[in-house]
Amino acid sequence: MVKTIKNISENTFQALSSLSKTDIIDLLHSKGILGDDIRLTNLFKSDENNFSIHQLNEKDINFLIKVFSDELIIPNFHSFSEKITEITKLVESNCNGSVANYIPELKSVDPKHFAVSICTIDGQCYNFGDSETPFCVQSTCKPINYCIALESLGEAKVHQFIGKEPSGQRFNEVALNKDGLPHNPLINSGAMMCCALIKPEDTIAERFDYVKKYWSQLTLNRGPGFDQATYESEKLTAHRNYALAHLMQEIQAFPKNTSIENTMDLYIRNCSLTLTTSNLSLAAATLANGGINPFSQEKIFSNETIKDCLTIMSFCGMYDFSGEFAFKVGIPAKSGVSGAIMLVIPNVMGICVWSPNLDHYGNSVRGVEFATRLTETFNFHNFDSLVGNSSKIDPRRHFSNANFDI
Ligand code: GLU
């Protein structure tokens, strides 16, 4: 077996040796490995005219061999991308819904924006539309806030203050569960509670920096930005969220000594961070990849944190459409009122769709249609069987030679 793999590698290496730099880059592109991939900086920087694959170091060559021996999670990325573009174009014609208007700044966003970005656990990327236009993350920051709280305090402590059930009510309903706690970490009350749990002893500047550092790690320092205008406008109009925070304060739901002012400030700041779909798909890919950034290989969140977060996302991430979404689409997701939806296919890929027109639940109309068509086409629903006949496409690599002997 070892000999066979070695032969494949040698053949791949021989084939690569005869190609020009441009040919290699074109081929990489068809595999979803893009020109800004930090794993191949040496290749991208090399001199086009005097290029030889022998100039690259062992790590670079091993990575190229891995790509061209079809060892990435989506081996036929080209066909996969074509199918995704087909879906995306169908979805683009849907202009239903309207932009969120309860936060003044969100009213002025152009509803025509549309972007889809995908990043696999092996760092294969796909981008469509306005994938480099920044938007406010709004509630798509909530899974990350939850992960940060879990990382610092652990699951048991965090869930002393937050439940694990869908609320069955609007995301900003002034309502708590029967224990007087937020229903879950992905609705407003629960997200405020997560903010209250993040470094409460530090100053607001330090706490916000701490959160931003996580986003920088998730996005390879490509984000986040900050939308000052949205922050200011939300701060002035977040009466319902303040009501919720005061209710929680009154019944002592928060940990002792919680400052509502600081908690609300951190919450609104986090919602006002800006990212592009390509960056948010990277964060989603890290959630899909057990907390490890596919490019830097940095372990950002523990396996336990990821398991807890994806579980809650599976049934609480899509407002009061979450049950329907779990049934029909069947993947962990989180949507935000800016029209972004983060989708995670565990152990395969992260996806971000952005289109500002929302349905009456507050979910992006095109985002929900994209997700629905995605799992109608590919067997990505949590409960799709990987064996037996299916009309769905399975694009992922299977480890047919896996050795389970202990
Ligand atoms: N900042 C928004 C709010 O608190 C987030 C809502 C959302 O995206 O779900 O209402």
- Among 217, 313, 230, residue whose Cα is nearest residue 271: 230
Task: Give the model confidence (pLDDT) of 316-358 as tens digits.
Answer: 999 999 999 999 999 999 999 999 999 999 999 999 999 999 9
Ligand 1 centroid from CA 271, angstroms: 7
DSSP output for 305-374:
HHHHHHHHHHHHTTGGGHHHHHHHT-S-EEE-TTSEEEEEETTTEEEEEE---B-TTS-BHHHHHHHHHH
233 CB-near residues (< 8 Å, 6+ apart)? 103, 104, 105
Task: Evaluate whether 340 touches 353 at the Cβ level (below 8 Å).
Answer: yes
Residue 30's domain comprises: 2-68
Sequence letter at residue 108: S
Evaluate whether residue 398 is within a structural domain. Answer: no
Task: Evaluate whether 162 touches 145 at the Cβ level (below 8 Å).
Answer: no
Q: How many domains does the chain have?
A: 2
Ligand 1 centroid from CA 31, angstroms: 37
Task: Indicate if 7 and 106 belong to the same structural domain.
Answer: no
Longest dimension (CA), the chain: 72
Neighbours of 101 (CB within 10 A): 11
Closest atom, ligand 1, to C-alpha of 268? 1
Evaluate whether residue 404 is within a structural domain. Answer: no
Ligand 1 centroid from CA 150, angstroms: 21
Pairing of strands 115-120, 349-354: antiparallel
Neighbours of 44 (CB within 10 A): 14
Task: Indicate if 57 and 98 belong to the same structural domain.
Answer: no
In the block, which residue shows the tokens 């990435």? Answer: 72
- CATH classification at residue 145: 3.40.710.10
Task: Give the model confidence (pLDDT) of 274-310 as tens digits.
Answer: 999 999 999 999 999 999 999 999 999 999 999 999 9
- Rounded to an integer, the average pLDDT of 58-83 is 94
Task: Indicate if 28 and 146 belong to the same structural domain.
Answer: no
Task: Give the model confidence (pLDDT) of 258-277 as tens digits.
Answer: 999 999 999 999 999 999 99
Residue 71 has pLDDT above 60, yes or no: yes
Ligand 1 centroid from CA 238, angstroms: 9
Ligand 1 centroid from CA 388, angstroms: 42
Residue 2 has pLDDT above 50, yes or no: no
- In this prediction, residue 172 carries a pLDDT of 80
Residue from 99, 169, 188 whose mutation best tests the ligand 1 pocket (most atoms within 8 A of CB): 188
Residue 404 has pLDDT above 80, yes or no: no
205 CB-near residues (< 8 Å, 6+ apart)? none
Q: What gap in Å lies between CA 324 and CA 148, rounded to an integer?
A: 28
Sequence letter at residue 49: N
Task: Indicate if 97 and 209 belong to the same structural domain.
Answer: yes
| pLDDT band (50, 70, 90) for residue 405 | low
Sequence letter at residue 198: I
Question: Exposed e or buried b for every residue in 129-158, given b needs 16+ CB within 10 A?
Answer: bbbeebbbbbbbbbbbbbbbbbbebeeeeb
Helical axes 260-271 vs 188-197, angle rounded to 10°:
110
- In this prediction, residue 1 carries a pLDDT of 39
Q: Ligand 1: residues within 6 Å at CB?
A: 138-139, 171-172, 188, 234, 241, 271, 336-337
Residue 201 corresponds to which tokens in the numbers above?
């002893």
- Among 230, 140, 228, 239, residue whose Cα is nearest residue 191: 140
User: Which residue has the least CA distance to atom 3 on ligand 1?
Assistant: 188
Task: Indicate if 143 and 265 belong to the same structural domain.
Answer: yes
| pLDDT band (50, 70, 90) for residue 33 | very high
Task: Give the model confidence (pLDDT) of 236-257 as tens digits.
Answer: 999 999 999 999 999 999 999 9
Task: Indicate if 374 and 291 belong to the same structural domain.
Answer: yes
Evaluate whether residue 21 is within a structural domain. Answer: yes
CA distances for 39 relative to 122, 287, 326, 346, angstroms: 11, 20, 35, 23
Task: Indicate if 25 and 174 belong to the same structural domain.
Answer: no
Ligand 1 centroid from CA 138, angstroms: 5
Residue from 107, 135, 139 whose mutation best tests the ligand 1 pocket (most atoms within 8 A of CB): 139
Residue 74 has pLDDT above 80, yes or no: yes
Average pLDDT along the chain: 93
Q: What gap in Å lies between CA 383 and CA 327, rounded to an integer?
A: 9
| pLDDT band (50, 70, 90) for residue 105 | confident
The span from the first CA to the last CA of the chain, in angstroms, equals: 18
| pLDDT band (50, 70, 90) for residue 7 | low
Evaluate whether residue 406 is within a structural domain. Answer: no
